[in-house]
Amino acid sequence: MAPTVSTNPLRDPRDRRLPRLPDASALVVFGATGDLARKKLIPAVYDLANRGLLPPGFVLLGFARRDWSDDDFAQFARESAEKGARTPFREEVWDRLASSVRFVQGAFDDDAAFDRLVSTLEELESSHGIAGNAAFYLSVPPSAFPVVLKQMQRTNLAAKGASGWRRVVIEKPFGHDIASARELNALVDDVFTPSGVYRIDHYLGKETVQNLFALRFANTLFEPIWNSQFVDSVQITMAEDVGIGTRAGFYDETGAARDVLQNHLLQLLALTAMEEPVSFSAETIRTEKIKVLRAVSLPDDLDRYAVRGQYEQGWLAGERVAGYLDEKDIPADSHTETYAAVRFGIETRRWAGVPFYLRTGKRLPRRVTEIAIVFKKAPHLPFDQTDTAELGNNQLVIRVQPDEGVTLKFGSKVPGSAMEVRDVAMDFLFGEAFTEALPEAYERLILDVLLGDATLFPNNAEVEESWRIIDPLEEHWASTTPHRYRAGSWGPAAADDMLGADGRRWRRP
């Protein structure tokens, strides 16, 4: 008689106090010695271990060119975790993790190296009980995607019939236009099953972005006015105070629109404008986001409502910084934009007539990402004009980073004998409302990959729809010269004129 399988009567699957733990598995990081692995991936893995969210059979397996042993990679991982981890570094946690760190040396076009990788995973099945479960993180340049994927296909690493599960994580950019995106999608789908592909956009892993779901759909306060009857406009801003750093080669070929607008900002737009899903499953949320992206319209006058800029030398935090053309390895005649601002429309019943203004730029005054819902002014104010001279539009601002939280801006009477109404703000800060520190985005996303939860990962259709929106902008800009703006300013004057033509102005974060 077969043994009776019993379940823990004290564990209810609805109980959110008990964390979800992945199956015993390996996280294989291609390009394991690069900046992304050192600064983000390895610290995130350590933080997950420190929070008790990794299974006992978890293995971190690095693959890179350096002639390292397992101990060399373990030392590199330790230094990365000590420097970049969000949670306190604890020796006992590291000792448990270090015992499951492995390294395979080789180039991406080295058949023997991939054969060794296959052998190593097979050994781990018996030594750590990973049962064929492996997630492959492509922390490599986009040009290396095809060769890595073809090696995985050759060695059967991603075989659809393999024991356990096999998943692949792909970092942006997902192509450089719709044609290359479709080519990459076809290659990935030829190697992995669609359910095993995770295109990572780290912005979707941020708690404040996910809080959009709770803000809109768990409350009755906001959703009734989340439409064109009450909303005047929406502004989505991603500003960076840094320059291009060591990314000159990549950035000069990419530019701000392809680097940020096509993925981060359009994803934020889709989450802001989507209808309520029937459930919080990956498929239903993706369906609602795709509906929004398919409804996005470009302005008729791209010269006025699609502005790009390039920073010149200026001052930031009391220091003089070089202009883009003076950055190392940037051609003196480069027309690559470091700033992009566009007005989009969404042709749905909910959002018809509401402009969505998106902007991103480097060398702006401060690092900030926010979504600002700007409401219409009251149709009739029983006040003299002087009473409300300092009253602006009501605003609901979701701060994605830094100072994560929500601000509600509304009018209030100034104490005194006169009737004077002025803007005031009501603030909610994650750091003050909750005792638990916010997890880093890569923590959430790596854990979701290991759990097989694809809710926060764009699929093929979302990527291609995003390129459908961006490609006409790139074609229009190809024959133009970007406007200049001083480093430390909020962008070119043309971007202010864009909103000024509509009788609006940018919100100052």
How far apart (Å, rounded) are the C-alpha atoms in residues 452 and 455? 9
Residue pair 201/267 in contact by the 8 Å Cβ criterion? yes
Kindly tell me the sign of the dihedral angle through the C-alpha atoms of 399, 403, 405, 406. negative
How far apart (Å, rounded) are the C-alpha atoms in residues 156 and 122? 12
How far apart (Å, rounded) are the C-alpha atoms in residues 372 and 397? 4
How far apart (Å, rounded) are the C-alpha atoms in residues 324 and 332? 9
Nearest Cα neighbor of 373 from 273, 299, 297 is: 273
Structure tokens at 341: 């601002």
Kindly tell me the sign of the dihedral angle through the C-alpha atoms of 254, 256, 261, 263. positive
The beta-strand segments (E) located in 313-404 are 314-316, 319-321, 339-346, 356-361, 368-375, 395-401
Q: Is the link from the previous residue into 173 a cis peptide, with omega within 30 of 0?
A: yes
Structure tokens at 83: 């420097």
Q: What are the respective helix, strand and coil percentages of the chain, to the nearest 5?
A: 40, 20, 40
DSSP state of 5: P
Nearest Cα neighbor of 225 from 417, 399, 354, 105 is: 354
User: Would you name the residues annotated as active-site residues?
Assistant: 264
Angle between helices 42-50 and 91-98 (to 10 degrees): 120
